[in-house]
Structure 1
Amino acid sequence: MPAPRIIRMAMLGFLASAMLATSTFAEPQQGEQIVLSSTEHHAPGAGAQGFSALDTEKIRETEEKYVFETEVSKIMKIIINSLYKNRDIFLRELISNASDALDKIRFMSLTDSASMSTNSNLNISITADPVARTLTITDSGVGMTRQQLKDNLGTIAKSGTSEFLSKMEESKKDDVSLIGQFGVGFYSVFLVADRVTVASKSNDDPAQHVWVSDAVNDFTIAEDPRGNTLGRGSQITLHLKEDAVEFLEPSNVESLISKYSEFINFPIFLWKGHNETIISEKSETLESNDDVEEEEIDSEKTEPEELTEEVWEWSQINTQKPIWTRSPKDITEEEYVEFYKTFTKSNDGDPIAWSHFKGEGDVDFRSIMYIPPRPDANFYQSLASATNNVKLFIKRVFITDDVAGDFFPRWLSFLKAIVDAEDLPLNVSRETLQQHKTLKMISKRLVKKALDMFAQLAKNDEKKYSEFISHYGVALKYGAIESQSHRKKVASLLRFRSSQNAQDAVVGLDHYIERMKPDQKHIFYASGMTIEEIEQSPFLERLVADGYEVLYFVDPIDEMLMQNMPGYDGKSFSNIAKGDIKIGDDSDEAKAEHKELEETFKPLQNWLKSTLSEYIDKVTISKRLATSPMAIVTPEFGLTGHMEKLLAAQGMNAAQKEDALYKFMASQKKTLEVNPKHPIIKALLDQVESGEPDEDITQLVTVLYETTSIRSGFQVKDLRGFTQRIEEVVGKGVGAEVAKAPTLKKEEEEEEEEEPIVPEDLFVGGHDEL
């Protein structure tokens, strides 16, 4: 090996030994490195973390032994024996405690700048020593005096163990999430360790002390024989159990830090290694020879050699800053987008919009909520299921993501949000969250802010709002159905297609009302499976010709929406396919003219009612037809053709078939409206007035009724008879004889007819939860 290489390795070995033997803890610095061989110990600051045999002997000479109070011992047994499955929370608890200690010293420094002189750096560092099987967490926080070590880690006075045990007994189960709520999070270390050493130095104590326990019945406290290695702060060394060696792997530790503590205010450093490849020069002669002339050595050819070395360094894990703690005016749009992608771990695109705000007053919290670029897969199919789109932090410590349903109603569960609360106890349980008054107040604020965010988007960016509606418009309709308290606000956010803009859903109810005719009392709408189906409907003819705007409802949920939202801003909704529509001239002269038409066409009305008695209840002169001869209108409380199609696609049980409201609506016979200005209707009137129409006329009217039924949105009941009647009419037209279509009796028709099916809660009014 060339001399430079030998010297370099010797220096690295010396540096490693120096770091391992040092008796003073060195503050970690990002990128600080050491290159080690595979046989060398890679944990830095070992002298600060471990004790020599002499140190141990001195501790035994000066230590004082204390017995855990009864409640603390119970805590130990619960943790060790019952909470194994969730044991990775120990790291969250230790980091949270370290963060609290750092917050305290930083607060103290505001009034006493000298308090920081003992250690000016504020951070948390974590190292693993696989040889000693230890994991060490060090902070430069406020530290603890000897008495505080005793009080905080061994007695009931400060730990809150009594309250913890009481809650455990109340819940009748071992709920690990309660750890920490009462200040007992430290004891979670015994989930993974069979022995724990805590070294701590406070500004209020001249000496550094050591607390040691094996989680049995007692603990000891002694003055640290190594002296003040910390300057200020605490260092917790976990002697891990044999089944917990997974926590010695830096990648596992890093994963837990990212999961639970990514947004802690202070930097968290992890001592971790990686391999680096270097290129050196390799001599063809591996051994020096005193007999070889110096000139010959110099002339020897060398060739490059690739070597892999293990490099260990301090790496900051929580590099993603908690931007929700910053002022929105100081955050760029790019930062918000980047944070969204980091927070959601998604690369599907930029969020449509976001809202960043701080809740103050009765409850203090910060939040950022985002509208994703598109819904999650199967979002609308899984609205009844819980989602994990909200991450709850308490003072920047991640608690859970199983709270979306507690913060947002399900119709808003597409939102992705972070909530950082100040007024919730750390590690509240799932049951406690649901009952906590603070959470309910936060939920109200979040829903209000979400609706405000949608309204601002609609006002400031029509293009983005149109994109939002295309993805989440149906969710808002669910909201208008389910939430009575937010119905008006949500309704104002809805957008529809209409006869004035059939291509895009951009027409809001406020826009519609602004364009209404002076004499118009209703908001007209038409329902159908597609825009094309609606635009072919005969019900549109007169309305559009007279300049009325009609909203187009093509989402299946729209029919349910109309049942739960009968009006908006003083205007009622009117289905143009139902009931007696009020349009046009309403003067006495117009009424008289219409009455005259009724008298003129009365013979035809009577004959049509008799001929089609199996299908219709009455025949009237239409006010809504312009070019079609007739249309089939549903009574106000009947089922339209579109509704029948929707019901036919649903499941139905015996109880639903007997639902009184459904049976009432399904039994309503239709009304046949005729257009008195249409030549076919005029010709039929002449036929009736000249005598009893023959069988051919009756057959033609039956075909006309069936084709009208299709145009009106209904399905033909007697499809076989309909096709044969069409064939017969065509046959006569071309001079061919076709067998007459059999006339079905009403009972036979009912046997062949598929009864519409209704979902269980279709006719039930809205409520606040889906």
Structure 2
Amino acid sequence: MKRVWVIGLLFALLAFAAVKADDEFDVDGTVEEDLGKSRDGSRTDDEVVQREEEAIQLDGLNAAQIKELREKSEKHAFQAEVNRMMKLIINSLYKNKEIFLRELISNASDALDKIRLLSLTNEDAMSDKEKNMLHITDTGIGMTKEELVKNLGTIAKSGTSEFLNKMTEMQEEEQSTSELIGQFGVGFYSAFLVADKVIVTSKHNNDTQHIWESDSNQFSVIEDPRGDTLGRGTTITLVLKEEASDYLELETIKNLVKKYSQFINFPIYVWASKVEKTVWDWELMNDIKPIWQRPAKEVEEDEYKAFYKTFSKDNDDPMAHIHFTAEGEVTFKSILFVPTSAPRGLFDEYGSKKNDYIKLFVRRVFITDDFNDMMPKYLNFIKGVVDSDDLPLNVSRETLQQHKLLKVIRKKLVRKTLDMIKKIAEEQYNDKFWKEFGTNIKLGVIEDHSNRTRLAKLLRFQTSNSETDLASLEQYVERMKEKQDKIYFMAGTSRKEAESSPFVEKLLKKGYEVIYLTEPVDEYCIQALPEFDGKRFQNVAKEGVKFDESEKTKEKREALEKEFEPLTTWLKDKALKDKIEKAVLSQRLTNSPCALVASQYGWSGNMERIMKAQAYQTGKDISTNYYASQKKTLELNPKHPLVKQLLNRVNVSLTTVIFVYLYYIHYMNKLKMDQSEHITASDLAVVLFETATLRSGYQLADTKAYGDRIERMLRLSLNVPLDEQIEEEPEEEPEGPAEDDSEDKEETVDEDDDEETVRRLHTLLLEDNVKLRI
């Protein structure tokens, strides 16, 4: 005997009842009429499961009886519009056939909503693999004979035309039409995606039980000779196509129910076998209840944790959650969660990768998670559900992205999310949240103009105030010195690099707190946030750093500027003419001799490094080359000995320089040295400039030339001739008779004595140079 196993699926569904079965039926096939109604489930008596199990099968009639019924049944033709519509549905949605189950479940839920009984209301489904049939039963309102003909055979022309026009338009634009059918109340006809024949058995309280049957070309209606087997409600029997046999598999049906109808307000059962004795019984599929439908004060903390783990497939408890109902222009309920750790690949293909963490439901029916517009990109780690009664049932992703209510929902979700994050305890926020999602908040400051102020309060940075603790901008402002009107920050690849920069020397010495930006996105973030609490940001690596000074201090500074004017002018006009914009005395340096400072609209060394790295990845960038080639300002520390000595050399008279150099050259010929072999003021200026370039975080344009200059200075300092080459290893020669080389030795000694005499003279001349202030 062939084994027949039946998968039963009892869901809140009445496929055709959604096309409206009572006096309130909307002839246009829309689903808007129930908006705002209570969704509490209705109930039936305890014998319902037994009655449905008996009635759900069509085995009560033999083949002869079925044949006789078909011959006696009333034959009807579908409206021309319905025929055209069904062809469009079948031809355009063949790649996404599974939506038929979602449509039938949604429609059944509407039918059950109309009953309002005090007893339990169930929906069942069973599959018969042997007969290739899937049965779907509910205990909803049912339909009379007249309603079967009207609701399943005709559709108002206005609604049909709108549906056909919309589907044609979306096909021309190559948009997905898989979600379209539910918008026009024609979801029942999606059954023909998988079925060659559809049989509807329905019992209404005001009529006897009738059978409706169709092969999509025409339909027939006849009174059921078996009598009242349903009690009340409807059974849909799908005679599946050969290629649709997968929908008879237990796991396939389970997965589809969980995907689309997990939170339907009525229990959904699948007829499945138990391991013990292989007994068949109803297995509840939607056992996870939509806790967002309950008032937040009635939901326990453990319930939120359990729901989050089941819903998100995460093993850890959430870091935070918020449960709210939004009212106004659009009404919806939502629960949002912050996960404990960042999802893997959070920033892979940032902005373009699908984010499926926010799931949209309409009246507890899952619609989609396949779009990125429900939440902004920077909040792509937030997980949750949104359930609205105001959106059209089964609204398509394409339609939803353009729906005016989506912007309202998105705005409220962002506000609530930021409120949730703000309420995370300070210690947990700094230690856990910021470590996992700090970059997201910084990106939010850059991208979200409307919420920039709220996001700025969530920022955390390392500062010079503490080696370990992070600080918020609010805390920084509270600790600012009297008369301090700017927030100082320094960017670098690490904290060590930032705090050892020459730009922060005087600030730290005077006790100012400096924010250290150590992540690539940090400087972008601050640039997008020009001020906080009325205090503007100041990049200490750029122009504009000034200190409050007394009249006496101002007079000293002006006197120094006049004293060093020959040096600053010489550097700008001669020594570094092609390298700097100008040379000025610095107010920010204490230990370093000089630094290279960008203009207010130029790039700091850290930003230049980041931008060049991006340019290397994306190809040549004209703007990158433009900013990178901008000249900087060379700031000099007038108290540094190197800068003072450089000023002295510039001030030496030309006559003295020429006399000393001619005298020096005369005695250097023996060592084959010329004027270019001396460390001149120009040599020192170039080396100081290149060293300042590196210490200021910039890259040298010609590192080889810089290395050659340093080697040259080292040779001169150690009295190593500039043209002296690396000693080569001598080649081995065959041994021969010893020769008298006394004459060669004598000549070598004489040469060495001569060179020693010249070196001593060289030393005396160097001492004279110091005295002559060269």
TM-score relative to the length of structure 2: 0.79
Structure 2 vs 1, CA of residues 209 and 645 (structure 1 numbering), >3 Å: closer, same or farther? Answer: same
Structure 2 vs 1, CA of residues 375 and 329 (structure 1 numbering), >3 Å: closer, same or farther? Answer: same
Q: d(CA) in 2 for partners of 1:482 and 1:603?
A: 48
Name the residue aligned to 2:631: 669
Cα distance per residue 1:61-80 (max 9 Å; x no partner): 76333222222222222233
Q: Do the aligned partners of 1:195 and 1:239 also contact (CA within 8 Å) in 2?
A: yes
Name the residue aligned to 2:575: 611
Structure 2 vs 1, CA of residues 215 and 158 (structure 1 numbering), >3 Å: closer, same or farther? Answer: same
Name the residue aligned to 1:434: 401
* Pair 1:720 & 2:704 matched: yes
Q: d(CA) in 2 for partners of 1:158 and 1:344?
A: 43
Structure 2 vs 1, CA of residues 159 and 139 (structure 1 numbering), >3 Å: closer, same or farther? Answer: farther
Q: Quote how far apart the aligned CAs of 1:339 are.
A: 2.0
Structure 2 vs 1, CA of residues 454 and 498 (structure 1 numbering), >3 Å: closer, same or farther? Answer: same
Q: Quote how far apart the aligned CAs of 1:733 are.
A: 4.5
Q: Do the aligned partners of 2:55 and 2:229 also contact (CA within 8 Å) in 1?
A: no
Q: d(CA) in 2 for partners of 1:478 and 1:723?
A: 40
Match of 1:645 among 598, 609, 617: 609
Name the residue aligned to 2:413: 446
Cα distance per residue 1:96-143 (max 9 Å; x no partner): 11211222212xx4xxxxxx5xxx321211111112221111111222
Q: Quote how far apart the aligned CAs of 1:270 are.
A: 0.5
* Pair 1:483 & 2:468 matched: no
Name the residue aligned to 1:27: 48
- Point out the more displaced range, 671-680 or 573-582: 671-680
- Point out the more displaced range, 92-101 or 722-731: 722-731
The residue identity in structure 1 corresponding to 2:711 is E
The residue identity in structure 1 corresponding to 2:701 is K
Name the residue aligned to 1:222: 222
Name the residue aligned to 2:312: 344
Cα distance per residue 1:351-383 (max 9 Å; x no partner): 322222111121111112222333333332311
Secondary structure in structure 2 of the residue aligned to 1:574: strand
Q: Quote how far apart the aligned CAs of 1:275 are.
A: 4.0
Q: d(CA) in 1 for partners of 2:161 and 2:206?
A: 28
The residue identity in structure 1 corresponding to 2:699 is Q
The residue identity in structure 2 corresponding to 1:396 is R
Match of 1:101 among 94, 111, 121: 111
Structure 2 vs 1, CA of residues 236 and 160 (structure 1 numbering), >3 Å: closer, same or farther? Answer: farther
Name the residue aligned to 1:417: 384
Match of 1:187 among 180, 184, 189: 189
Q: Do the aligned partners of 1:263 and 1:322 also contact (CA within 8 Å) in 2?
A: yes
Secondary structure in structure 2 of the residue aligned to 1:619: strand
Identity score, percent: 47
Q: d(CA) in 2 for partners of 1:580 and 1:360?
A: 49
Q: d(CA) in 2 for partners of 1:454 and 1:430?
A: 28
Alignment map for 1:665-704 (pairs within 5 Å): 665-689=627-651, 695-696=678-679, 698=681, 699-704=683-688
Q: Quote how far apart the aligned CAs of 1:60 are.
A: 4.6
Q: d(CA) in 2 for partners of 1:540 and 1:497?
A: 14
The residue identity in structure 1 corresponding to 2:546 is K
The residue identity in structure 2 corresponding to 1:470 is K
Match of 1:559 among 516, 523, 527: 523
Name the residue aligned to 1:540: 504
Q: Quote how far apart the aligned CAs of 1:487 are.
A: 2.0
Name the residue aligned to 1:280: none
Q: How many aligned residue pairs are there?
A: 655
Q: Quote how far apart the aligned CAs of 1:256 are.
A: 1.0
Name the residue aligned to 1:508: 472
* Pair 1:332 & 2:296 matched: no
Q: d(CA) in 1 for partners of 2:80 and 2:435?
A: 61
The residue identity in structure 1 corresponding to 2:113 is D
Q: Do the aligned partners of 2:368 and 2:397 also contact (CA within 8 Å) in 1?
A: no
Q: Do the aligned partners of 2:263 and 2:365 also contact (CA within 8 Å) in 1?
A: yes
* Pair 1:570 & 2:534 matched: yes
Name the residue aligned to 2:94: 84
Q: Do the aligned partners of 2:538 and 2:544 also contact (CA within 8 Å) in 1?
A: no
Q: d(CA) in 2 for partners of 1:121 and 1:638?
A: 72
Structure 2 vs 1, CA of residues 337 and 158 (structure 1 numbering), >3 Å: closer, same or farther? Answer: farther
Q: d(CA) in 1 for partners of 2:210 and 2:46?
A: 15
Q: Quote how far apart the aligned CAs of 1:579 are.
A: 0.7
The residue identity in structure 1 corresponding to 2:640 is H
Structure 2 vs 1, CA of residues 469 and 73 (structure 1 numbering), >3 Å: closer, same or farther? Answer: same
The residue identity in structure 2 corresponding to 1:179 is I
Name the residue aligned to 1:499: 464
Q: Quote how far apart the aligned CAs of 1:90 are.
A: 1.0
Q: Quote how far apart the aligned CAs of 1:701 are.
A: 4.4
Name the residue aligned to 2:142: 143
Name the residue aligned to 2:559: 596
Cα distance per residue 1:176-224 (max 9 Å; x no partner): 321121111111111111122212222333x22222222112x222222
Q: Which runs of 5+ in 1 are unaligned?
A: 1-12, 17-23, 33-42, 110-115, 277-308, 742-770
Q: Which runs of 5+ in 2 are unaligned?
A: 7-44, 662-677, 726-774
Q: Quote how far apart the aligned CAs of 1:655 are.
A: 11
The residue identity in structure 1 corresponding to 2:432 is E
Secondary structure in structure 2 of the residue aligned to 1:255: helix
TM-score relative to the length of structure 1: 0.79
Q: d(CA) in 1 for partners of 2:133 and 2:86?
A: 20
Q: d(CA) in 1 for partners of 2:723 and 2:507?
A: 42
Structure 2 vs 1, CA of residues 239 and 51 (structure 1 numbering), >3 Å: closer, same or farther? Answer: farther
Match of 2:199 among 180, 197, 200: 197
Secondary structure in structure 1 of the residue aligned to 2:519: coil
Q: d(CA) in 2 for partners of 1:617 and 1:71?
A: 77
Q: Quote how far apart the aligned CAs of 1:649 are.
A: 0.9
Secondary structure in structure 1 of the residue aligned to 2:359: strand
Q: Do the aligned partners of 1:195 and 1:238 also contact (CA within 8 Å) in 2?
A: yes
Q: Do the aligned partners of 2:46 and 2:120 also contact (CA within 8 Å) in 1?
A: no
Secondary structure in structure 1 of the residue aligned to 2:601: coil
Name which one, 1 or 2, has greater alpha-carbon Rg. 2
Q: d(CA) in 1 for partners of 2:706 and 2:79?
A: 89
Q: d(CA) in 2 for partners of 1:180 and 1:58?
A: 36
Name the residue aligned to 1:50: 59
Q: d(CA) in 2 for partners of 1:570 and 1:52?
A: 83
Q: Quote how far apart the aligned CAs of 1:723 are.
A: 2.2
The residue identity in structure 1 corresponding to 2:383 is K
Q: d(CA) in 1 for partners of 2:280 and 2:87?
A: 38
Name the residue aligned to 1:37: none
Q: Quote how far apart the aligned CAs of 1:634 are.
A: 1.5
| Cα RMSD, aligned residues only | 3.0
- Point out the more displaced range, 674-683 or 126-135: 674-683
Q: Quote how far apart the aligned CAs of 1:539 are.
A: 0.6
Secondary structure in structure 2 of the residue aligned to 1:603: helix
Match of 1:323 among 285, 291, 307: 291
Q: Do the aligned partners of 1:635 and 1:668 also contact (CA within 8 Å) in 2?
A: no
Name the residue aligned to 2:588: 624
Alignment map for 1:153-302 (pairs within 5 Å): 153-157=152-156, 160-172=159-171, 175-205=177-207, 207-217=208-218, 219-276=219-276
The residue identity in structure 1 corresponding to 2:244 is A
Secondary structure in structure 1 of the residue aligned to 2:259: helix
Cα distance per residue 1:671-720 (max 9 Å; x no partner): 22222233333444444445578842533443333222221111233322
Q: d(CA) in 2 for partners of 1:190 and 1:157?
A: 20
Match of 1:706 among 682, 690, 694: 690
Secondary structure in structure 2 of the residue aligned to 1:526: strand
Q: Do the aligned partners of 1:499 and 1:550 also contact (CA within 8 Å) in 2?
A: yes
Q: d(CA) in 2 for partners of 1:651 and 1:673?
A: 29
Q: d(CA) in 2 for partners of 1:654 and 1:233?
A: 63
Q: Quote how far apart the aligned CAs of 1:95 are.
A: 1.2
Q: Do the aligned partners of 1:178 and 1:427 also contact (CA within 8 Å) in 2?
A: yes
Name the residue aligned to 2:326: 359
Q: Quote how far apart the aligned CAs of 1:442 are.
A: 1.0
Secondary structure in structure 1 of the residue aligned to 2:635: strand
Q: Do the aligned partners of 1:616 and 1:671 also contact (CA within 8 Å) in 2?
A: yes
Structure 2 vs 1, CA of residues 365 and 128 (structure 1 numbering), >3 Å: closer, same or farther? Answer: same
Name the residue aligned to 2:355: 387
Secondary structure in structure 1 of the residue aligned to 2:356: coil
Secondary structure in structure 2 of the residue aligned to 1:637: coil
Q: Quote how far apart the aligned CAs of 1:624 are.
A: 0.7
Q: d(CA) in 2 for partners of 1:96 and 1:455?
A: 38
Q: d(CA) in 1 for partners of 2:706 and 2:361?
A: 66
